[in-house]
Amino acid sequence: MKTGINHLFIPGPTNVPESVRQAMNVPMQDMRAPDFGDLTLGLFRDLKKVLRTQTGEVLLFPGSGTGAWEAAMANTLNPGDTVLMSRFGQFSTLWVEMAKNLGLNVICVDVPWGGGVPVSEYARILGDDREGKIKGVFVTHNETATGVTSSVAEVRRVMDECFHDALLYVDGVSSVGCIDFRMEDWGVDLAVTGSQKGLMLPAGLGILGVSQKAIAASKTATMRRSYFDIGAQLAMNATGYFPYTPPTQLLHGLRSALNRLLGEGLENVASRHHRIAEGVRRGVAALGLSLCAEHRSLYSDTVSAIRTPEGVDAREVIKIAYARYNASFGSGLAQLSGKVFRIGHLGDLNEGMMISALGIAEMCLAEAGARVEFGAGVGAALSFYTEGRLARQPTSVAAR
């Protein structure tokens, strides 16, 4: 029998704060009541703050980030349109597959897993597209499978330098609400995220930010859509309502989660994620292990994909963690299966939780056959987390 809490160290769904869980514990209510907008209009307003857009709009779909991705494409593109995408992890691969399934002509740049969006290759392809055949440029901001964060700003820069008018689509599922995201400044036309990661909610909401340029494109796009039609959404959302039954309890939870994020301050949220992630990275390095991300400039502040030593199956590490220590690590996906395990460090978390993650990882690695110096990873993280703080503390009685 397992005792104690389940240690959830996966990159999503993330831990749901107790205040958010309690906020969702409300009776069912009338979604057509005259005061329903008192709840929902504030959500749309504050989600725009999280995405950092003033001129765009935010839509909520019962579903997931995958549903919001389909909504983004179906509302703004025509069958047969050419789009520019790249594959460098499981989720960027899935978006390419979706685009093909929807009948789009995909120019796909393949990058070794561990790399990021190939900005220079994007620049070359866009520069050669003198007739403007490319209608959409796609960026996976944070590739959750490999722990890689790419620069959306750099992609926007090359688009502008080429004077290219394509729409910019960004997958922010594991970045929004965690690390710096600037829809307006980066000229993002369609920003996709979900409720179950940085927003600290259960899965169930697909969230889509749309620019005015994207809204204009939706009025002439011919791809079929019905449930995901943003025209119907925007018309009803303007007064706080939905064209179908919304998940009201999730909306109450979202209100609480947004209060937490905005109360902490988005800059502070990003700083906290960076600090906690860096402690994990210091711990991983001290254990003599490496990350899947091929360079520090690509390291994700929301998830670390950790390569196991030669001869050590990462699936065994994950199995031991779950069976013996009541802990969940993220698995290696597709070509990374058995080669990496992932520690998610996003959402509602702190230094103590990451010390636990590293300590459990040390035990599991050793039991799976890796040579581990116990305490090396934990010690490196402790040193980083307390750096510059110990000297400021008053001398304890025991130390006198």
CB-CB contact of 228 with 208 (8 Å): no
CA distances from 94 to 27, 88, 192, 267 (A): 37, 11, 14, 30
**336 — alpha (psi -120 to 50), left (phi > 0) or beta?**
alpha
Across the chain, what does the average pLDDT equal?
96
pLDDT value at 32 more than 60? yes
Residues 6+ apart with CB under 8 A from 317: 308, 329, 341, 361, 364, 365, 368
Residue 328: how many CB atoms within 10 A of its CB? 15
CA distances from 16 to 5, 21, 104, 254 (A): 13, 7, 37, 11
Mean pLDDT of 165-179: 98
- Can you tell me the distance from the alpha carbon of 137 to that of 106, in angstroms, rounded to the nearest whole number? 10
Which of the listed CATH numbers 1.10.490.10, 3.90.1150.10, 1.10.357.10, 3.50.50.60 matches domain 7-13+266-386? Answer: 3.90.1150.10
- Confidence tier at 80 by pLDDT (50, 70, 90): very high
pLDDT value at 330 more than 60? yes
Which pLDDT score is estimated for 267? Answer: 98
> In the block, which residue shows the tokens 């749901």?
16
pLDDT digits (tens, 9 = 90+) for 37-73: 999 999 999 999 999 999 999 999 999 999 999 999 9
pTM for the full model?
Answer: 0.95
Triad 258, 346, 137: Cα angle to 5°: 85
pLDDT digits (tens, 9 = 90+) for 215-240: 999 999 999 999 999 999 999 999 99
Which pLDDT score is estimated for 374? Answer: 97
Taking alpha carbons only, the member of 334, 333, 331 closest to residue 344 is 331
Which pLDDT score is estimated for 247? Answer: 95
Taking alpha carbons only, the member of 287, 277, 257, 202 closest to residue 13 is 202
CB-CB contact of 191 with 183 (8 Å): yes
Which pLDDT score is estimated for 400? Answer: 39
Q: What share of the chain is helix, strand, coil (3-state, %, to 5)?
A: 40, 15, 40
Residue 30: how many CB atoms within 10 A of its CB? 9
CB-CB contact of 16 with 348 (8 Å): yes
Q: Which two tokens stand for residue 388?
A: 């510059």
Facing residues of 306 across strands? Answer: 291, 341
Please spell the DSSP secondary structure of 190-231, one letter per residue. Answer: EEEEETTSTT---S-EEEEEE-HHHHHHHTT--S--STT-HH
> In the block, which residue shows the tokens 């609480």?
256
Which pLDDT score is estimated for 394? Answer: 57
> Hey, where are the domains in the chain?
7-13+266-386, 18-263
pLDDT value at 395 more than 90? no
- The Cβ-side half-sphere exposure at 73, using a 13 Å CA radius, reads 27
- Can you tell me the distance from the alpha carbon of 264 to that of 153, in angstroms, rounded to the nearest whole number? 25
Q: What is the CATH number of domain 18-263?
A: 3.40.640.10
- Can you tell me the distance from the alpha carbon of 310 to that of 308, in angstroms, rounded to the nearest whole number? 7
Q: Which two tokens stand for residue 160?
A: 């502008």
Q: Are strands 7-9 and 327-331 parallel, antiparallel or unpaired?
A: parallel
